[in-house]
Amino acid sequence: MNRTFPPERTYRDIISEAWMRTLEIQSARDDQNFFDAGGNSVLLVQLQRSLTAGLGFKVPLQEIFRHPTIADLSRRVETLAPSPAPVGRQELNLYCLPYAGCSARVFDSWKVYAPEFLNVIPVELPGRGSRCTDSPVSDLPELLDDLSSAIDVDSRVPYGIFGHSFGAIIAYELGRRMIADGFPGPSALVVSACRPPHLATPEVPVFDRPDRDFRQRLRELRGTPPELLENDELMELYIPVIRADYSIIDNYRSAGPVDIGCPIVALYGSADDDADGAVVEQWGAYTRSSFEKYEIPGDHFFLHSAEQEIVSRIASEISLGIPSAARLGRIAEKGA
């Protein structure tokens, strides 16, 4: 086991107590199915919250759904429980989300440029990279359920979220989801090459276009390698993934400026006509904390051509504006 409890408190005990509290019953068998016992989707979320409070870490909804008995879930939790945080952890974890259709492996090289205190953590979305066998997700709440399990809140290490283009909207919404679920919010949000949420939804949707038109749109965006666009076999695999991302952004509806509760740093390309300096300036309305914007040489996909400068800028802003957990606490108290 990765986590220890007093002898009278085992994973099975905690899960059983949360189970009975959620279903409002006095006893439960280890082999009883949660849904057969009266559970539903609403109660499933309640069970997840109760388990989080009891276990001290978050169990993804999909894991509870796939292991609907106390016995099965207890065994699964044994493998999901986080290991104790090693000595000398970096001061801040930076979770990185790529643009539409892209794998998080695009951030692998960032680890070379990152200073010691900054732990770069690429977050892979379903359907690509190391998760290529998972079905792509075209529903934002479902995607946030999936991605929130990647955030390590158990170690209590402060974290930031970076997102480029489509990934920036997901980063913002992921930060909001963490707060709504009762977990610590991000210590920093870095948005790159992205219009603010209230301007992010395209006027003309493209996710439901025929394959030929859809591929043409990808050519216009110049974010997809030409050799990939010309390979029909590869595109059969690729199109469902990027369609799922476009479905999310094409159907995205912003609630307007909602404070994310942390500093925001916005990066924009010097030759990006879609998200220029004047547009990204409006990200400032999404925080009552500090807001900074910086121009990076390049077009909308400067993520590929200015890696070292991007990492250097992020590290500089984080080290100056959010140098420690204690400092973060003082900023939060001042903002309140």
Q: What's the CA gap between 33 and 102, in Å, rounded?
A: 38
pLDDT, tens digit, 9 for 90 and up, residues 39-85: 888 888 888 888 887 887 778 887 888 888 999 998 888 877 754 44
Position 218 scores a pLDDT of: 80
Helices 232-250 and 166-180 pack at an angle, to 10 degrees, of 50
Q: pTM of the predicted model, to two decimals?
A: 0.69
SS3 at position 213: helix
First-to-last alpha carbon distance for the chain, in angstroms, is 39
Q: Which domains does the chain have, with CATH numbers?
A: 11-80 (1.10.1200.10), 92-335 (3.40.50.1820)
Nearest to 296 by CA among 321, 320, 314, 322: 314
**CA R_g for the chain:** 21
- Concatenate the DSSP letters of all residues of 158-185 into one string: -EEEEEETHHHHHHHHHHHHHHHTTSPP
Position 292 scores a pLDDT of: 93
Position 115 scores a pLDDT of: 87
Q: What's the CA gap between 329 and 317, in Å, rounded?
A: 17
Position 237 scores a pLDDT of: 82
Position 244 scores a pLDDT of: 95
Ranges in the chain, pLDDT < 50: 1-7, 83-90, 321-336
Tell me the sheet residues that pair with 47. Answer: none
For residue 92, the 8-state DSSP code is E
